[in-house]
């Protein structure tokens, strides 16, 4: 009679090892899956940004959108791509797009030609208003000044609303108040500061019509240079093959636009200086550059930074003026001493010139960094 082999006894070493292996199999499979990642890592990203990919006209527009959502080259490496642009090319190739004819980047940058003529309106209205104030006498002068100021504000709003410097209404009230304060200081602040240092004012102080007219006429080169920068940036956006290449092209383009506007601003202020026979308008030049840089940042979606710097410049000018009056209080003479020393050494215009120049430089440094991103131009 043949012996039947006995089944392995329960609790043997073999049985224990088998149970341990079976129990650890799911965990090992999970760890292996985690290490390998999904079979198609781009699919989830493609579904998440499907709308962006469907309306894009080229891979660089997708790359700009991904960059705006915080996707970097390091992030792209987790999707098995060397950089954001390579990842955008795959998304562009895989996502079906609408068959309707898309607008080209150049067509998006085109605007009606009427804004080019409207850019001259603020300067023309301001010159007429100043002439009216100079010709009026007595109580009529105040009425003409108020009406002229209202007309200049309306002309400026019309020029900015329809031109390349049209911005979204973020921080609009704060920016308007700070801009109005800075411009008002450019017109009458130097005269008030000078009188305050000399112990006044005892009555009305001198205003500066040249600063007002020069800045109003400088709206035209500001709008034209902003349009030139926008058009050229879109051309570079269409021809660049990567985000780094676009950044390298856009920074010299921005610096060229800054220098071009600075030349136009200097020309407008020099013409106003000759017309009204005033001194150098360095503070007005610094203010003009500050306002242009702030508006350019606001146009491209960075209104918050512009509003903060404008507010800082506005508060600094007002504090400098207030310190002179505060220094007249008993025991507070030290408060006004720095501003008095600066005015006595370099003139009343040195204070706003230094403040606006520092603020403008801050915004230009910021613009050099953020306007080199493709995402700052993708929706323009």
SS (H, E, C) 245-256: HHHHHHHHHHHH
Q: Does residue 27 fall inside a structural domain?
A: no
Q: How many domains does the chain fold into?
A: 2
Residues 6+ apart with CB under 8 A from 209: 130, 133, 134, 187, 272, 276
Give Cα 68 distance to the centre of its chain.
15
Q: Does residue 155 fall inside a structural domain?
A: no
Residues 6+ apart with CB under 8 A from 309: 290, 294, 359, 362, 363
Residue with tokens 């660049």: 240
Same domain (yes/no): 73, 170:
no
Same domain (yes/no): 173, 272:
yes
Last residue of a domain, one of 54, 80, 102: 102
Last residue of a domain, one of 102, 136, 152: 102
Q: Which tokens hold the place of 360?
A: 């403008």
Residues 21 and 33: their CA atoms lie apart, in Å, by 18
Q: Does residue 12 fall inside a structural domain?
A: no
CB atoms under 10 Å from CB of 134, counted, come to 11
Q: Which tokens hold the place of 315?
A: 């508060």
Q: Does residue 232 fall inside a structural domain?
A: yes
Residue with tokens 């129990």: 23
Element counts in the chain: helices (H) and strands (E): 19, 0
Residue 39 is predicted with a pLDDT of 55
Residues 233 and 247: their CA atoms lie apart, in Å, by 10
Residue with tokens 């089944």: 7
Residue 170 is predicted with a pLDDT of 61
Same domain (yes/no): 293, 213:
yes
Q: What angle do CA 267, 272, 274 make, to 5 degrees?
A: 95
Q: What angle do CA 208, 162, 183 make, to 5 degrees?
A: 20
Residue 43 sits in which domain range? 32-102
Same domain (yes/no): 98, 168:
no
Q: Does residue 117 fall inside a structural domain?
A: no
Q: Does residue 223 fall inside a structural domain?
A: yes
pLDDT along the chain (380 residues), means of 10: 43 41 40 44 72 70 75 74 73 59 41 76 95 88 92 93 78 85 93 90 86 96 94 80 78 95 96 88 95 93 91 96 92 90 92 96 94 71
Whether the CB-CB separation of 175 and 195 falls below 8 Å is answered with: no
Residue 97 is predicted with a pLDDT of 54
Last residue of a domain, one of 49, 75, 102: 102
Residues 320 and 304: their CA atoms lie apart, in Å, by 25
CB atoms under 10 Å from CB of 189, counted, come to 26
Q: Which of 27, 18, 40, 371 is nearest to 229 (CA)?
A: 371
Residue 179 is predicted with a pLDDT of 93
Q: Does residue 325 fall inside a structural domain?
A: yes
Residues 6+ apart with CB under 8 A from 299: 164, 165, 166, 167, 226, 380
Q: Does residue 205 fall inside a structural domain?
A: yes
Full DSSP string of 107-176? HHH---THHHHHTTHHHHHHHHHHHHHHH--THHHHHHHHHHHHHHHHHHHHHHHHSTT---STTHHHHH
Whether the CB-CB separation of 210 and 127 falls below 8 Å is answered with: no
Whether the CB-CB separation of 190 and 352 falls below 8 Å is answered with: yes
Whether the CB-CB separation of 119 and 225 falls below 8 Å is answered with: no
Same domain (yes/no): 71, 207:
no
Residue 162 is predicted with a pLDDT of 79
Same domain (yes/no): 64, 167:
no
Same domain (yes/no): 259, 362:
yes
Instruction: Please give the radius of gyration of the chain, using alpha carbons only, rounded to the nearest integer.
Output: 32
Whole-prediction pTM: 0.75
Residues 156 and 165: their CA atoms lie apart, in Å, by 11
Full DSSP string of 130-148? HHHHHH--THHHHHHHHHH
Same domain (yes/no): 239, 369:
yes
Same domain (yes/no): 82, 172:
no
Residue 210 is predicted with a pLDDT of 94
């Amino acid at each position: 009679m043949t012996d039947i082999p006995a089944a392995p006894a329960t609790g043997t070493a073999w049985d224990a090892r088998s149970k341990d292996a079976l129990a650890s199999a799911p965990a090992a499979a999970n760890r292996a899956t985690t290490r390998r990642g999904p079979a198609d890592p781009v699919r989830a990203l493609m579904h998440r940004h499907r709308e962006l990919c469907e309306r894009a006209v080229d891979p660089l527009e997708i790359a700009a959108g991904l960059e705006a959502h915080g996707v970097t080259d390091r992030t792209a490496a987790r999707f098995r791509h060397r950089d954001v642009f390579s990842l955008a090319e795959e998304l562009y190739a895989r996502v079906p797009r609408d068959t309707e004819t898309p607008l080209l980047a150049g067509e998006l940058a085109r605007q009606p030609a009427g804004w080019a003529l409207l850019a001259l309106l603020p300067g023309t209205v301001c010159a007429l208003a100043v002439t009216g104030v100079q010709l009026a006498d007595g109580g009529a002068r105040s009425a003409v000044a108020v009406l002229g100021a209202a007309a200049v504000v309306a002309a400026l709003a019309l020029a900015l609303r329809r031109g390349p410097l049209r911005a979204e209404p973020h921080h609009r009230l704060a920016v308007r108040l700070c801009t109005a304060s800075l411009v008002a200081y450019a017109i009458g602040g130097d005269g008030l500061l000078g009188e305050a240092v000399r112990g006044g004012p005892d009555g009305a102080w001198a205003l500066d019509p040249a600063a007002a007219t020069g800045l109003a006429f400088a709206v035209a080169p500001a709008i034209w240079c902003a349009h030139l920068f926008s058009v050229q940036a879109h051309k570079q956006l269409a021809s660049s093959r990567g985000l780094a290449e676009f950044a390298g092209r856009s920074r010299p383009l921005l610096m060229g636009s800054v220098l071009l506007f600075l030349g136009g601003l200097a020309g407008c202020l020099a013409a106003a200086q000759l017309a009204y026979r005033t001194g150098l308008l360095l503070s007005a030049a610094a203010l003009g550059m500050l306002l242009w840089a702030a508006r350019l940042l606001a146009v491209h979606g960075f209104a918050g930074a512009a509003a903060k710097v404008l507010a800082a410049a506005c508060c600094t000018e007002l504090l400098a003026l207030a310190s002179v009056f505060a220094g007249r209080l008993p025991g507070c003479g030290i408060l006004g001493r720095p501003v008095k020393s600066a005015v006595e050494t370099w003139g009343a215009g040195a204070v706003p010139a230094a403040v606006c120049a520092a603020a403008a430089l801050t915004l230009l440094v910021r613009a050099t960094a953020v306007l080199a991103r493709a995402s700052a131009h993708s929706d323009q």
